[in-house]
Amino acid sequence: MSQIINQRLQQIRSFMQEHALDAFIIPRADEYLGEYVPTCNERLHWISGFTGSAGAVVILNEQAAIFVDGRYTVQVRQQVDSALFSYHHLIEEPFLFWVCQKLSAGRQVGIDSRTFSLTQYQQAKALCDHQRITLVETPINPVDKLWQDRPSAPSGIATLMSNACVGASSLEKRLQIGEQIHQTGAQAALITAPDSIAWLLNIRGSDISRLPVVLSQAILHADGQMQWFVDPAKIPEGFIEHVGQGVSVAPETDFADGLKQLATQYQKVLADPATSNAWCQLRLQEQSVQLVALADPCLLPKACKNTAEIEGMREAHRRDALAEVRFLAWLAQHEQQGTLPDEAQAADHLQQLRYLDSDCVDLSFDTISASSSNAAMCHYNHENADVPAALQMDSVYLVDSGGQYRFGTTDITRTVAIGQPSQEICQRFTLVLKGMIALACQRFPKGTTGTQLDVLARQYLWQQGLDFDHGTGHGVGHFLSVHEGPQRISKAFNDVALAPGMVISDEPGYYQDGDYGIRCENLLVVEPLEFPHSDRPFYQFATLTFVPFDRRLIIPSLLSDAERQWLNHYHQQVFELVSSQLESTDIDTLTWLKAATATL
């Protein structure tokens, strides 16, 4: 493989010479700037062999470098040849700074502006200008030109979501967002995030594994009219009747012409500098269009789920709980028999249990199935290991997984005792669980952000001089992206207030490098709270996830009376929800469930 990668690097360097470039940057992102990319757009993997979800490669005439974040420092060394690439930390040593240090004034750096947001492009250009280096938009991505056996672009037919399932028609949504566009002073907006397009049109797709969207681009006018640029082969029968009046369809290859036409119609166009790629916005600026730089207007309405969407999420979690409980009971049985599975076998079995439900169409992300020390890597993927690890006795197993159901998305993490874990592990698990409960129980006034609540989940760890390095909570879509903005719960500043209908994860953790990892995760939904004498609106969280926490890892003396009461009530709800779904043949599962949800 190293020989093939080296040949590809030389081909890119030949392209650079043809275009008088001294460097070329290849990020993981594609033109849609989403978290996931289809196989045909895995350009970073093609040039380096790296399969992680974030990173970038910089190619110079005499050397190349790969940049990844802390999740992938081990993986990158396993997958990428150090003789061809030097390794760098994506956050601590940004690739733009690195390339500017390597090049002298007068040099040229090439990029495909479709793979950069406008914000990223502007930052790159400012830095290059300061160093008197020229940032060049190449007319074609060299990887696309050179990738001989590139997979075909996905062409699955879109699925129509009923109004009863999503709670509002496409026309209603388009008129609502169109009015928001009008209020900004713009006459139209670029809608390029695939999940925003799916939400607006009440469709789902199969273009990307784990993310049920249709890859496409759109222009939404302030009057609710929408131009959708998409492969015609993806249009399902009955689409026009489904979306209602005001939606025109054109091939995605016509998007450039659509931008030119837009520039002749309007002077102001709303575009999100963070989620729409630089290329389409730069083309509008070239036509003297004034860009209104605001967040994608679909983000907030999409995040605030309506009653139908919340009911769908509840149903997805009800069914998901059945699969999870069957899995945990199966795991316990194998532990008792001394036939522990490895990480891959466990993940595969959990997936099979989810797929017993015909309405589960995919996983919501690649399952994190991590044994003992592997769990210390919070985004570990056993598929990147040479040999998946066997589950280890007297330690813990961490499984973070989720499903894409036709009416909702799930995401859950459970840490499971294998044998008898150490007192230290149990103590830290209990601290993590206490933080998760504290956040789930919090009541808060309107206007509160996730940043203000983040400390609740960390407080008990902090009291012991401990912490975790990831965010505490992320938004979750309705049969859409498992990582959805704009809300989040994190130490990092976020000015988006939590609002009714938002679904968000509650997932504190603790990770002892090289030894073990712990995480407890439920999904919550924000809902109004009525206080008899409140002077302002208040909200609370309602729990969506109902799967037992491992009682063997809990030190009861560390729990307050209120925490113990919460946990016992929660486990009672779990038993009632799951036992009602078990079949008569699920005797072993029912026996396990009774013990797992017994009063603490």
Structure tokens at 440: 């789930």
Residue 67 within a domain: yes
Q: What is the CA radius of gyration of the chain?
A: 25
Which one, of 353, 308, 372, lies nearest residue 517 by Cα? Answer: 372
Residue 242 within a domain: yes
Of the candidates 302, 331, 359, which is a domain's last residue?
A: 302
**Residues 135 and 214 both lie in one domain:** no
Ramachandran angles phi, psi of 554, nearest 5°: -95, 130
Residue 154 within a domain: no
Provide the CATH number for the domain around residue 86: 3.40.350.10
**In contact, 232 and 249? CB cutoff 8 Å:** yes
**Residues 67 and 111 both lie in one domain:** yes
**Residues 112 and 224 both lie in one domain:** no
SS3 116: coil
**Residues 123 and 164 both lie in one domain:** no
State the Cα–Cα distance between residues 118 and 111, nearest whole angstrom: 13
**Residues 139 and 209 both lie in one domain:** no
Of the candidates 146, 167, 202, which is a domain's last residue?
A: 146
E-assigned strand segments in 28-85 = 56-60, 64-68
Query: Can you say how many angstroms the Cα of residue 391 is from the centroid of all Cα atoms in its chain?
Result: 27
Ramachandran angles phi, psi of 72, nearest 5°: -120, 15
**In contact, 230 and 252? CB cutoff 8 Å:** yes
**Residues 447 and 561 both lie in one domain:** yes
Residue 151 within a domain: no
Residue 385 within a domain: yes
Residue 153 within a domain: no
**Residues 184 and 134 both lie in one domain:** no
**In contact, 476 and 504? CB cutoff 8 Å:** yes
**In contact, 99 and 260? CB cutoff 8 Å:** no
Which one, of 162, 56, 152, lies nearest residue 109 by Cα? Answer: 56
Residue 223: the pLDDT is: 97
Domain that holds residue 111: 2-146
**Residues 54 and 191 both lie in one domain:** no
SS3 551: helix
**In contact, 229 and 217? CB cutoff 8 Å:** yes
Residue 18: the pLDDT is: 96
**Residues 374 and 236 both lie in one domain:** no
**Residues 178 and 81 both lie in one domain:** no
- Number of structural domains the chain divides into: 3
Of the candidates 146, 167, 201, which is a domain's last residue?
A: 146
Structure tokens at 427: 């103590």
User: Is it true that the peptide bond before 486 is cis, omega within 30 degrees of 0?
Assistant: yes
Cα-based distances in Å from 590 to 314, 330, 335, 440, 584: 22, 11, 17, 27, 9
- Longest CA pairwise span in the chain (Å): 75
State the Cα–Cα distance between residues 292 and 270, nearest whole angstrom: 4
**In contact, 45 and 6? CB cutoff 8 Å:** no
Residue 152 within a domain: no
> Model's pTM, two decimal places?
0.94
**Residues 379 and 504 both lie in one domain:** yes
State the Cα–Cα distance between residues 474 and 215, nearest whole angstrom: 23
pLDDT in tens, the chain (600 residues): 889 999 999 999 999 999 999 999 999 999 999 999 999 999 999 999 999 889 999 999 999 999 998 778 878 998 999 999 999 999 889 999 999 999 999 999 999 999 999 999 999 999 999 999 999 999 999 999 999 999 999 999 999 999 999 999 999 999 999 999 999 999 999 999 999 999 999 999 999 999 999 999 999 999 999 999 999 999 999 999 999 999 999 999 999 999 999 999 999 999 999 999 999 999 999 999 999 999 999 999 999 999 999 999 999 999 999 999 999 999 999 999 999 999 999 999 999 999 999 999 999 999 999 999 999 988 888 887 778 999 999 999 999 999 999 999 999 999 999 999 999 999 999 999 999 999 999 999 999 999 999 999 999 999 999 999 899 999 999 999 999 999 999 999 999 999 999 999 999 999 999 999 999 999 999 999 998 888 999 999 999 999 999 999 999 999 999 999 999 999 999 999 999 999 999 999 999 999 999 999
**In contact, 373 and 515? CB cutoff 8 Å:** yes
* Neighbouring residues of 515: CB distance < 8 A, sequence distance ≥ 6: 372, 373, 376
**Residues 309 and 293 both lie in one domain:** no
**In contact, 203 and 161? CB cutoff 8 Å:** yes
Alpha helices in 184-292 (DSSP H): 194-201, 239-243, 255-265, 278-286
SS3 88: strand
Interior angle at CA 96, CA 90 and CA 101, nearest 5? 110
Residue 531 within a domain: yes
Residue 267: the pLDDT is: 96
